[in-house]
Amino acid sequence: MAITFSKKMNEFQTSIFNELAVYKKEKVDAGHEVIDLSIGSPDLSPPDYVMEELASHVKDPTLYKYSLDGTAELLQTISNYYTLQYDVDLSPESEVLMVMGSQDGLVHLPVVLANPGDIILVPDPGYTAYAAGIAMAGATPYLMPLTQENGYLPDLTLIPEGVRSKAKMMILNYPGNPIPTMATKEFFEDVVKFACENDVVILHDFAYSELYYGEKPISFLSVDGAKEVGIEFNSLSKSFNMAGCRIGYVAGNSEVLEGLNRLKSNLDYGVFLPIQKAAIAALKYSSSFSDDLRATYKKRRDIFVEGLKSLGWKVDVPKASMFIWAKVPAPYSSTEFAYKLIDNTGILTTPGVAFGTYGEGYLRISLVQHEDILQKAVENLRESGLFQG
């Protein structure tokens, strides 16, 4: 029997991530050691108290029914967390919504807000799930370049009037992935003004909110008028190393959340109740764990950045997130150099072009390995002769 895929599947091609995974497997099968610094998945475990909470509730036979929505306790805990962390008041009944990991909400929101042909303003380079959500909605992306010259913030004044009139959404992500930069309050204030003037809903992806190494990142919702124009996604994947648990939340504009909740009610039956219990524990007792987690990533960052600089590979010191955005040496393209690193050093990274046209010329390097392994990666680079420090 001949199987024919829909035309929509043409928009979901095999990505560079899949190609690199296949190449990594070939290297490992051939007996080569590979240091994987390509993925953005935490290698660390959740807090003990979170795992204990999950384990205790897994044995409760009454918690195996459909959860459907976030429990009242979870939504209230998220509301309390925002008040404590960002001085933002949220109604747990109408301004907070649980999702099955923030990516679940990110990819579905365009379907809620955009019709085929509508424009969605999206950062370039940006997290790959944004493109998937836009494709699902049949909308048209308008790329907002993130350049070093503009502090990796989109220049809103460069968006043409004809694009503004057709735009339904703008997607932002600070601290960013793949570029580990932070937004300013002034920028977010400009975004709120832009949204009001052009009837554009703002989606802020705040997944790396707890991974910072000095100044605390700004919640978009903490800016005056933000709740009137947008929403903010977060999850427990990066902040509490709960990536496999698939639980997150979105907060902000109640109308937008109502639409997303209506769509989600037709797609899934909620998050396993013991996972919700574990998420409540994580958010309630986050302070000391978050401090320790930041200290761990900061140590990794400092070891690796200083190691690269000692080789002559000068990279910006990230102020947040778990990534380094490293300029590729001439004359290589980002993909060519990523493969060169695998072949010559056994280090797997992600070429910047995987995140968009403006990512060309860079690599995204993830700090998701122990300090000893990061030091070994530096030594492998030193022995390869690719850099002459």
Ranges of each domain in the chain: 10-39+288-384, 48-285
Helix ranges restricted to H, the chain: 16-29, 48-58, 72-86, 102-113, 128-137, 161-166, 185-198, 226-229, 254-264, 273-284, 287-311, 334-345, 371-384
pLDDT digits (tens, 9 = 90+) for 331-388: 999 999 999 999 999 999 999 999 999 999 999 999 999 999 999 999 999 999 888 7
Q: Which CATH superfamily does the domain covering 10-39+288-384 fall into?
A: Aspartate Aminotransferase, domain 1 (3.90.1150.10)
**Assigned architecture for domain 48-285:** 3-Layer(aba) Sandwich (3.40)
Whether 48-285 and 10-39+288-384 are alike in CATH topology: the answer is: no
Task: State mean pLDDT over 264-269.
Answer: 93
pLDDT digits (tens, 9 = 90+) for 234-256: 999 999 999 999 999 999 999 99
Predicted local distance difference test score (pLDDT) of residue 199: 97
Q: What is the pLDDT of residue 18?
A: 83
Task: Place 10 in a pLDDT band, splitting at 50, 70 and 90.
Answer: confident
Q: Which residues pair with 250 in a beta bridge?
A: 97, 233
Query: Across residues 282-307, what is the average pLDDT?
Result: 93
- What tens digit of pLDDT does each residue of 149-187 get? 999 999 999 999 999 999 999 999 999 999 999 999 999
Q: What is the pLDDT of residues 53-105, one digit of tens each?
A: 999 999 999 999 999 999 999 999 999 999 999 999 999 999 999 999 999 99
Question: For residue 389, what pLDDT is reported?
Answer: 54
Comparing 2-11, 115-124, 148-157, the range with the smallest average pLDDT is 2-11
CB 45 within 8 A of CB 243: no
